[in-house]
Amino acid sequence: MAAFARFEDGVEVSGEVFQTLARFAPDGVMDVLACDQHNSVVRMLTKLFARAREAGGGADEYPDQPRDQDVTRASFILARRLGGVPAAALFNHLAYLSDGFREVLGADTMLIGRLESTVFLETKDKQGLVAQLAVQPEQVADRVDAFKTLVKVDPAHRESWDRNLAWQTEVWERCRKLGKPLFNETLYTPAGLPKRELGEKLPEALPKIARDFGPLGDFYKTQVPLLWIEDDGAALTPVGSGELIRTARPLYGSLRVAGGTVVAPISSPEVVRRTTEAMAAVVDRPLLLLSAAVNFEQYAAQYGIVCDLVAGPMCGRAYFKDPFADPAVRDWEALEQAIAITAVPRMRQIKALAAARSQPWWHKYTWMSDEARALIQPRGA
């Protein structure tokens, strides 16, 4: 099929790819629900299952170690309760290869299939990670509308950088031959770096990663610098929902919050925006904002700062992780109800902001055919 559009770097967009994107997001709003985090879901279910057993739940349904079938059950819950809100939803192969999953998600939501394995290869020095496929795109192409890949990279580690770049290039070429859009995600993961130091390095590292990896897909899914991290005196983790800031110190000092926890600012809003501007300048692809494990409060702030520079959110845990940790949630039924109550308003909030201020997914095209233009309905037109 002839090209329907073209990016500034000369890469052409096939009719198959354009038609898929236009079918699910004709108005240009490309908001994506990301539910492919296998290891994270296992950790969240482990806490839920412990509470369920304390409340009298059976070990057969709530085992000490969650199984693949439990992760799949959680995926069905997320698809059933949240799948009707976004233009697209991302799941791993345990979900999208399950019988009946597509019907649960619904025909109006683009199904993006994760390709990479949860297990990354280690370099010989144990300092770098290299992506590998969990499924072959050619073998699952008929089960999904689009593909997603994730590479974990560190610009300072040359071997893993080069190997991931070669891997991503090959997968991108295979997806193009299949006529499927590819959502290309990167995550900055330097080995052994404490979270505070990692956060401080993000403004410098992210544009470097974007320059080389950004062009290897139809969309580039990226993190942005952290606004803050939480320090409880041991580990550094994102701020928990519902905590109230009690006193404030100058920027880059610390904020005292309820329970004696200290919130340490990392990057200012200006730095978050400048970094995103730098990425947008070097990537000839629409950007999508991931949550990178922050809580919803921070993700909403990050998205508000850069909403006009990106084409949409590609967010998951920030929307739905809180119910897994809620002491009142002690079984599957309560989890499903709590996810719907918590996540749907959050998703609608971000989607409304995307519809009002974010770029349409086609904004990086420098040319579109008449056939392509006939398929879309620009906002305000």
pLDDT in tens, 338-352: 999 999 999 999 999
**Model pTM score:** 0.92
pLDDT at residue 9 is higher than 80 = yes
The total number of structural domains in the chain stands at: 2
pLDDT band for position 381 (50/70/90)?
Answer: low
In this prediction, residue 246 carries a pLDDT of 34
Q: Tell whether the torsion through CA atoms of 185, 190, 195 and 199 is positive or negative.
A: negative
In this prediction, residue 253 carries a pLDDT of 45
Residues 241 and 323 in one domain: no
Task: Please tell me the distance from the alpha carbon of residue 289 to that of residue 306, in angstroms, as a whole number.
Answer: 9
The bridge status of strand 365-368 relative to strand 3-7 is: antiparallel
Residues 300 and 220 in one domain: yes
From the CB of residue 284, how many other CB atoms can be counted at a distance below 10 Å? Answer: 18
User: Quick check: 261 and 206 in contact, CB under 8 A?
Assistant: no
Among residues 343, 236, 340, the alpha carbon closest in space to that of 294 is found at 236
pLDDT at residue 150 is higher than 90 = yes
Residues 119 and 186 in one domain: yes
Residues 88 and 151 in one domain: yes
Average the pLDDT over 134-160 and give the result: 98
User: Quick check: 27 and 378 in contact, CB under 8 A?
Assistant: yes
Among residues 227, 194, 221, the alpha carbon closest in space to that of 294 is found at 227
The owner of tokens 């949240």 is 82
Tokens, residue 199: 């956060």
Which domain does 336 fall in, by range? 29-225+268-359
Question: Does a structural domain hold residue 13?
Answer: no
Residues 68 and 212 in one domain: yes
In this prediction, residue 267 carries a pLDDT of 96
Average pLDDT, the chain: 92
pLDDT at residue 362 is higher than 70 = yes
Among residues 179, 223, 176, the alpha carbon closest in space to that of 201 is found at 223
281-309 pLDDT tens trace: 999 999 999 999 899 999 999 999 999 99
Average the pLDDT over 242-252 and give the result: 37
pLDDT band for position 380 (50/70/90)?
Answer: low
Task: Please tell me the distance from the alpha carbon of residue 273 to that of residue 244, in angstroms, as a whole number.
Answer: 25
Residues 306 and 328 in one domain: yes
Average the pLDDT over 77-94 and give the result: 98
Residues 204 and 234 in one domain: no
Residues 93 and 167 in one domain: yes
Residues 235 and 110 in one domain: no
pLDDT at residue 255 is higher than 80 = no
Question: Does a structural domain hold residue 1?
Answer: no
Task: Please tell me the distance from the alpha carbon of residue 128 to that of residue 199, in angstroms, as a whole number.
Answer: 18
* Higher per-residue pLDDT: 32 or 254: 32
Least confident of 49-58, 94-103, 159-168, 246-255: 246-255
pLDDT band for position 262 (50/70/90)?
Answer: confident
Question: Does a structural domain hold residue 22?
Answer: no
End-to-end CA distance of the chain: 28
One-letter amino acid at 284 equals D
Give the distance, in angstroms, between the CA of residue 218 and the centroid of all CA atoms in the same chain.
Answer: 15
In this prediction, residue 244 carries a pLDDT of 36
Domain boundary among 213, 245, 265: 265
Residue 128, domain CATH: 3.20.20.70
Task: Please tell me the distance from the alpha carbon of residue 367 to that of residue 6, in angstroms, as a whole number.
Answer: 5
Average the pLDDT over 163-183 and give the result: 98
Tokens, residue 225: 């610098």
From the CB of residue 266, how many other CB atoms can be counted at a distance below 10 Å? Answer: 22
